[in-house]
C-alpha cells in the first residue's frame, strides 16, 4: 500500500490529508498556517501525527506562488510570512519525513485536481481560479500542468484591472488580487466603515452573507469585487483559450458572488469567438488543491518505483 501525504499550505489555513490507493482520505487535519518558528517542522509533525505508526511513502506540497517546483523552493509569496520565503521545503521536509517530497503552485494543483477528479474531467484545457486569501490561477492541459519555463506561469492574480490606488502584496497597484480577493473584500468593507451584524471585524464571508440578505452596502462591496474578477476572467480567456473556467476558494462558494461575476463577464466587450466558455464553481470545493496535490504525490511515487 502506497501512503501519500497531500499538504495544502494556504495564506490563512493549512490542510493535510493522508491517502492510500482509495480516493477518500484516511485522515485529515486543518489548522492555521504557521507564521513563526520552524514552519517545515510544524508540517512534518502534523503529518506524523496523522500517520501514526505508518511511514509515509511520498508527500506533495501545494503553496501560493511564486514557487520553484523544479528546485523545490517556496520563493516569496506575498500571502505567506517571511518564514516561508526562499524555503527549500522539499529537501527539508523530505529529511524530516524520510520520503520523497514534491512542490507545486496551489492553483496549478487546483487545476490538476479538477481536471482529474472534478468539473474539468471531460475537458482538455481547464483554467482554475481560486478566490480566497489571494487569487491564484492554474491551467491543466490534457491532464498536465502548464507551468511555463520555470513553473511560474499562472500568476494572473497579479495582473492589473484598475487604475485605482489599491496596493497589492506583490507591490503593484490595481492587481486582481488587490481588488477581488477575500482579503481585498474584507479590507474594502473595513475602509467603508461596514461591519457585520455581530459587530466583529468584517470578513469576505460576512460581506457575502450580508449582501445575499439584502444589505445594500455589502452588496456594493461584493459587486465591485465580482466586477473586477469578471474583467480579469475575460483577460484570462484571451490569454489561455480554455474549455472551461472553474472557480474555487472560499469566496467562490457564494452563489451571489458567482452570479455577479458571470454578469460582469457577459457585460465585458469581447470578441464573439471567445464568448460562451462556461464559468462554473469547482466541483471539489475547497479540496480541489488537495486532490491535485494527491495526484502529484502519486505521480512521484510511481516514478520512484519505476512505473
Q: Which residues contact 71 (CB under 8 A, 6 or more apart)?
A: 88
> Of the given ranges (64-68, 101-105, 123-127), which has the lowest mean pLDDT?
64-68
φ/ψ of residue 268, rounded to 5: -70, 135
Residue 192 confidence (pLDDT):
94
Query: Which pTM value belongs to this model?
Result: 0.90
Is the per-residue pLDDT at 244 higher than 80?
Answer: yes
pLDDT for the residue numbered 185: 97
Q: Please check whether residue 137 is in contact with residue 155, taking contact to mean a CB–CB distance below 8 angstroms.
A: yes
Cell numbers representing residue 260 in the block:
455577479
26: pLDDT strictly greater than 80? yes
Q: Tell me the CA distances in angstroms from 100 to 57, 91, 144, one per residue in order.
A: 7, 8, 20
Supply the DSSP symbol for 253. Answer: G
pLDDT band at 285 (very low <50, low <70, confident <90, very high): confident
> Is 237 within 8 Å of 231 (Cβ atoms)?
no
Tell me the percentage of the chain whose pLDDT exceeds 90.
78
Catalogue all structural domains in the chain, each as residue range(s) with its CATH number: 4-104 (3.30.420.40), 119-283 (3.30.420.40)
Q: Does residue 1 carry a pLDDT above 80?
A: no
Q: What is the pLDDT of residue 229?
A: 97
pLDDT, one tens digit per residue, over 257-271 is 999 999 999 999 999
Q: How confident is the model at residue 156 (pLDDT cuts 50, 70, 90)?
A: confident
CB 51 within 8 A of CB 7: no
Place of cell 466603515: 193
Cell triple for residue 223?
A: 459587486
The residue with greater pLDDT, 213 or 66, is 213
Instruction: State percent of the chain over pLDDT 70.
Output: 98
Q: How does the average pLDDT of the chain come out, rounded?
A: 92
For residues 83 and 211, give the distance between their C-alpha atoms in angstroms, rounded to a whole number: 36
Amino acid at each position: 500500500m502506497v501512503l501519500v501525504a497531500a499538504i495544502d499550505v494556504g495564506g490563512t489555513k493549512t490542510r493535510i490529508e493522508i491517502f492510500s490507493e482509495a480516493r477518500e482520505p484516511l485522515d485529515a487535519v486543518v489548522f492555521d498556517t504557521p507564521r513563526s518558528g520552524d514552519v517545515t517542522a510544524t508540517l512534518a509533525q502534523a503529518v506524523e501525527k496523522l500517520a501514526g505508526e505508518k511511514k509515509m511513502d511520498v508527500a506533495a506540497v501545494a503553496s501560493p506562488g511564486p514557487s520553484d517546483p523544479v528546485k523545490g523552493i517556496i520563493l516569496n509569496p506575498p500571502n505567506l510570512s517571511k518564514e516561508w520565503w526562499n524555503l527549500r521545503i522539499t529537501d527539508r521536509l523530505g529529511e524530516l519525513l524520510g520520503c520523497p517530497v514534491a512542490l507545486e503552485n496551489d492553483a496549478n494543483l487546483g487545476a490538476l485536481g479538477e481536471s482529474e477528479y472534478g468539473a474539468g474531467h471531460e475537458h482538455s484545457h481547464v483554467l482554475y481560479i481560486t478566490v480566497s486569501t489571494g487569487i491564484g490561477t492554474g491551467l491543466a492541459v490534457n491532464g498536465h500542468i502548464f507551468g511555463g519555463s520555470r513553473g511560474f506561469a499562472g500568476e494572473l492574480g497579479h495582473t492589473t484591472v484598475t487604475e485605482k490606488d489599491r496596493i497589492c502584496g506583490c507591490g503593484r497597484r490595481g492587481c486582481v488580487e488587490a481588488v477581488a480577493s477575500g482579503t481585498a473584500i474584507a479590507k474594502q468593507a473595513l475602509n467603508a466603515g461596514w461591519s457585520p451584524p455581530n459587530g466583529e471585524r468584517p470578513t469576505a464571508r460576512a460581506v457575502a452573507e450580508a449582501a445575499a440578505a439584502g444589505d445594500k452596502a455589502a452588496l456594493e462591496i461584493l459587486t465591485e469585487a465580482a466586477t473586477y474578477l469578471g474583467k480579469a476572467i475575460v483577460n484570462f480567456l484571451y490569454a489561455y483559450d480554455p474549455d472551461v473556467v472553474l472557480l474555487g476558494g472560499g469566496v467562490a462558494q457564494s452563489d451571489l458572488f458567482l452570479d455577479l461575476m458571470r454578469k460582469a463577464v457577459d457585460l465585458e466587450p469581447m470578441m464573439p469567438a471567445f464568448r460562451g466558455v462556461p464559468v462554473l464553481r469547482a466541483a471539489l470545493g475547497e479540496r480541489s488543491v488537495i486532490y491535485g496535490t494527491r495526484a502529484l504525490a502519486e505521480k512521484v511515487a510511481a516514478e520512484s518505483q519505476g512505473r
